[in-house]
Amino acid sequence: MAKVLVVEDETDVRELLVLHLKREGYQVNAFEDAESALGSLSTHTYDLAILDWMLPQMSGLDLCKTLRIKLSHALPILILTARADTMDKVLGLEIGADDYLTKPFEVREFVARVRALLRRSAKSGEALAPKAEIKSEIKIDSLRLSLASKKIWNDQEELSLTPNEFKLLATLMDQPGVTFERTQLIELIQGPGVAVVDRTIDTTVLGLRKKLGDKAEWVETVRGFGYRFRGQE
């Protein structure tokens, strides 16, 4: 019987995951934070870990990284992310998650992913390689952004962005024309467990536009929703 580790701070989501995993016949250990999950490693061996990205204190991604370092055996890891968080996916792949599920998700989809991960690991018996492609660079017109080195250039000139400005721009540029809601962007920038200050996002956009110079207006305000990077016309 496969043993599954679940780490999700939202009680109803956690209970739902546990319910469906048990229904599938798996043994489940569920925790609401990363620290307790790590604490259980001394007494439990898991076949699969399901981690929510947004956790209080230590995030799901940091937990993922820690599990990779701590465990000698290959543990398939499924990360649950908020909607359209492209940057999370990039980060997750760098850190070594095996698969992603975007919230909100269908139970059927969730169960299918779990089965597939357990099947793959049972078959190979070794570390699973991330299956999605890692995008290392985004280029739009004269702007070139390197996700690996966290640097950005406008023509040949390197721009000096703060980490928040970089994360914001990378997210917007990854899907030009797509409007990101303010709450999504705030989560992305501030991370889990931080008091949400709405103004932070506006300040970040303001700073970003200043540094983008002649490309400033490409970061567009969508009134009442949020921001987007100018789409192709």
Nearest to Ca ion of 15, 158 (CB atom): 15
Q: How far is the CB of 152 from Ca ion (least distance, A)?
A: 30
Q: Which of 4, 5, 28, 54 binds Ca ion (CB under 5 A)?
A: 54
Q: To the nearest whole angstrom, how small is the minimum distance from the Cβ of residue 70 to Ca ion?
A: 22
Pick 12 or 133: Cβ nearer Ca ion = 12
Q: Tell me: does residue 187 bind Ca ion (CB under 5 A).
A: no
What distance, in Å, lies between the first and last C-alpha atoms of the chain? 54
Q: Among residues 2 and 4, whose Cβ is nearest to Ca ion?
A: 4
Nearest-10 crossing angle of helices 60-70, 86-95: 10
- Give yes or no for a cis peptide into 104 (omega within 30° of 0): yes
Buried-exposed string 169-202: b where 16+ CB fall within 10 A, e elsewhere: bbbbbbeeeebbebebbbbbbeebeeeeeeebbe
- Beta 226-229 vs 219-222: how paired, if at all? antiparallel
CB of 52 to Ca ion, least distance (A): 4
- CB closer to Ca ion, 54 vs 78: 54
**Contacting Ca ion (CB under 5 A), which of 2, 4, 5, 9?**
9
Q: Near Ca ion by CB under 5 A, which window of 50-58, 101-109, 121-129, 203-211? A: 50-58
CB of 231 to Ca ion, least distance (A): 31
Residues in Cβ contact with 193 at an 8 Å cutoff, skipping those fewer than 6 apart: 55, 56, 57
Q: Does 52 bind Ca ion (CB under 5 A)?
A: yes
**Nearer residue to Ca ion within complex by CB, 59 or 121:** 59
Contacting range for Ca ion; rule: CB under 5 A; set: 31-39, 45-53, 123-131, 205-213: 45-53
Let me know: does 101 contact 8? Beta carbons within 8 Å: no
Number of residues in contact with Ca ion under rule CB under 5 A: 3
Contact 114, 4 (CB under 8 A): yes
Enumerate residues 6+ apart whose C-beta is below 8 A from 49.
4, 5, 6, 7, 64, 67, 75, 76, 77, 78
User: Whole-number minimum distance, CB 9 to Ca ion, in Å?
Assistant: 5
Question: Is residue 47 within the footprint of Ca ion (CB under 5 A)?
Answer: no
Polymer length in residues for the chain: 233
108: helix, strand or coil: helix
Q: Where along the sequence are the contacts to Ca ion (CB under 5 A)?
A: 9, 52, 54
